Amino acid sequence: MRHALALGRRGLGNTWPNPAVGAVVWLPGEGAPHILGRGWTMPGGRPHAETAALAAAGEATRGAMLSVTLEPCSHHGRTPPCSGAIVAAGIARVVSAIEDPDPRVNGRGHIMLRAHGIAVTVGVLAREARRANWGFIRKVVDQRPMLTLKLARTTDGIAGRPGERLLITGPAADARTHMLRAQHDAVMVGLGTVLADDPLLTCRLPGLEHRSPVRIVLDSRLQLPLASRLVASARTHPLWVVTGIAAPDVPEAALVAAGAEIIRVATDPDGRVSPAAAMRALAGRGVTRVLSEAGPRLAMALAAADVVDEVVLLTGTMPAGHGVPALSPVLAERLADPELFTAGPVEPVGPVAAGPNTADTMQVFTRRG
């Protein structure tokens, strides 16, 4: 199952609206199992991991075991159900990490397998599998994507200074950010970040450029500059602009003409896009995993809306002296509550020299439940 989970992670950010599943066809062996076939969900969600693993194993599937990180589907969609393919392949036993919460499945896949005489075990490494499928589960159960909030701060906790671009972390930490982009369906910022930094928000790791996520800007009044790099690249890399219902029509037409897609949602009392409404709208379009490279204001709004599932906190090696804190009081309080978030270890990112504060560090906070 650990091997299947590792395979499934290969699809993160690349399989939505489907989950990123891993599957292994195997036989018990002396000392170690004999792997017959491996598979993971392919880009766009098809083919599924189970059918890929069965195809790789070929005729050797008869009497073999199948370990899979999510219950095999039991319904007809664009392809026949995986449960039927497993039965036809002659698999003797299926080990599933967790049930699929999709109402079209929700235990029916396991029932179908058992009805055909296949032994089924459920719950192996369930906790790890729930986290691996967190985005898909959030979309199905809570009608919103899983949200990872990435923040960078100086050693004295500053995220930036008004009117000044503050370089906080080095190349190794920046590469981690690009990998996070590759592992999420979408990357989201607020208008303030666009105006301050003019980001491109693509994945620029060598060999992973094709894994660039959908770029999303929360822009309540459609003030996104047409000259920004995001808009200039909208025809080659998808750009969605989430705005308020009452936002003006004229800039919408210009943005659409440039290749952007406009999504209108409800606003909060001060006229800003509601983070909760934005998340629901993204889930409605199939998005399961969102990386927010938010500035402090948007980060605070996301925390207040209770839609943050994971926080990746990168800390540089130098102080700023003054500026805008990276962690708002609301977010800092939530991260410090052990009943809400589990704090991971502080790890160096990049080469470590002698002495304190010689390397950027990363700490991950994971929401409980």
Residues 315 and 360 in one domain: yes
Domain boundary among 110, 134, 158: 134
Residues 80 and 161 in one domain: no
Q: Which amino acid is at 143?
A: Q
Question: Of 50, 71, 293, 310, which is the active-site residue?
Answer: 50
Residues 150 and 57 in one domain: no
Residues 113 and 201 in one domain: no
CATH at residue 30: 3.40.140.10
Helices 329-336, 296-304: inter-axial angle, 10-degree rounding: 60
Domain boundary among 134, 154, 185: 134
The pLDDT profile of the chain, 369 residues, written as one tens digit per residue, is 999 999 999 999 999 999 999 999 999 987 788 999 999 999 998 899 999 999 999 999 999 999 999 999 987 666 678 999 999 999 999 999 999 999 888 899 999 999 999 999 999 999 999 999 999 999 999 999 999 999 999 999 999 887 777 889 999 999 999 999 999 999 999 999 999 999 999 999 999 999 999 999 999 999 999 999 999 999 999 999 999 999 999 999 999 999 999 999 999 999 999 999 999 999 999 999 999 998 889 999 999 999 999 999 999 999 998 899 999 999 999 999 999 999 999 999 987 655 556 789 999 999 997
Q: Is 50 a catalytic residue?
A: yes
Residues 184 and 279 in one domain: yes
Domain count, the chain: 2
The pLDDT value given to residue 355 = 56
Residues 29 and 9 in one domain: yes
pTM, to two decimals: 0.94
The pLDDT value given to residue 357 = 63
Question: Could you tell me if 258 and 178 are in contact, meaning their C-beta atoms sit under 8 angstroms apart?
Answer: no
Residues 293 and 362 in one domain: yes
Give residue 76's domain range: 2-134
Residues 96 and 159 in one domain: no
Residues 38 and 124 in one domain: yes
Residues 150 and 126 in one domain: no
Domain boundary among 88, 110, 134: 134
The pLDDT value given to residue 161 = 82
Residues 98 and 151 in one domain: no
CATH at residue 206: 3.40.430.10
Residue 362 CA to residue 350 CA, distance in Å, equals 10
Burial 59-71 (b: 16+ CB within 10 A, else e): ebbeebbbbbbbb
Residues 107 and 190 in one domain: no
The pLDDT value given to residue 321 = 87
Beta bridge partners of 150: 312
